[in-house]
Amino acid sequence: MTKKERAAQAVAILKERYPEAICSLVYDKEKPYELVIATRLSAQCTDARVNIVTKELFARYDSLEAFANADLAEVEEIVKPCGFFRMKAKDTIGMCQAMLSRFDGKVPDTIEELITLPGVGRKTANLIVGDIYHKPSIVTDTHCIRICGRLGLTTGITEPKKVEDALRPILDPVESGDFCHRLVLFGRDVCTARAPKCEECPLKPICKEGPAPKKTKKPSARAKIKPEEA
């Protein structure tokens, strides 16, 4: 089976298991910049914690302008539970200022433009072009890197950009964004980092790192002797 065929099977199997491929970060669809902020805050933090923090943050600052003019210390205080709060607060204000000054108050729609915003890397940029603009995207977060490696789609590669480059030619661009969302759900449920539940895994038949077939135990010399011969 080629990598492309294996990828197509993984896409189909996870699509069936998780029909809803939604981003777990909560944001207002009318305010797409909120997803850029939430994704920045999610680095080294759980989506659940980010959602608690952004509830307060987005209520306190309800527009791009409000964020651009926000008091740094105040934003730091609110985003503190997400960790790395000084840098995250600075990036939050900086990215909103940049969207206002360089992009006419809009969220850019290309990866190349998005990564010019403070604190925005390829992971965030891919998420935005996929979720906001419905363009092909590949979000190489920890789940994507781990599971695609185990499946043998990106063998031996862990650097996010290289994983993205390896997946792009083998994933259906129409499905790639949703597939990455489903990998997050699957990575939490089944193919966890420390204890993958291979025995109950729907991807087991196509997985390169699934459990090896059980070896039949060689009978010992003693076991070969029929009871009546002993």
- Residues at the site binding ligand SF4, with contacts judged by CB under 6 A: 147, 150-151, 190-191, 196-198, 201, 203-204, 207, 209-210
Instruction: Please tell me whether 198 is known to bind a ligand.
Output: yes
Name the minimum Å distance from CB 14 to ligand SF4: 10
Q: CA–CA separation, 51 vs 120, rounded Å?
A: 19
> Is 23 marked as a binding-site residue?
no
Provide, rounded to whole angstroms, the least separation between the CB of residue 215 and ligand SF4.
18
Q: Is 82 annotated as a binding residue?
A: no
Asked whether residue 201 is marked as a ligand-binding residue, the answer is yes
Name the residue nearer to ligand SF4 (CB basis): 127 or 190: 190
Q: How many whole angstroms separate alpha carbon 75 and alpha carbon 88?
A: 9
DSSP at 217: P
CB-nearer residue toward ligand SF4: 98 or 198: 198
Beta carbon of residue 211, minimum distance to ligand SF4 (angstroms, whole number): 7
Nearer to ligand SF4, 119 or 196 (CB): 196
- DSSP of 29-97, one letter per residue? TT-THHHHHHHHHTTTS-HHHHHHHHHHHHHH--SHHHHHT--HHHHHHHHGGGSSHHHHHHHHHHHHH
Output the CA–CA distances (angstroms, integers) from residue 218 to 59, 213, 214, 224, in the order listed: 67, 15, 12, 10
CB 187 to ligand SF4: min, Å: 9
Complex with ligand SF4: residue 88 or 150, whichever CB lies closer: 150
Dihedral sign of CA atoms 66, 68, 71, 72 in order? positive
d(CA 108, CA 120): 11
Binding residues for [4Fe-4S] cluster, by number, are 191, 198, 201, 207
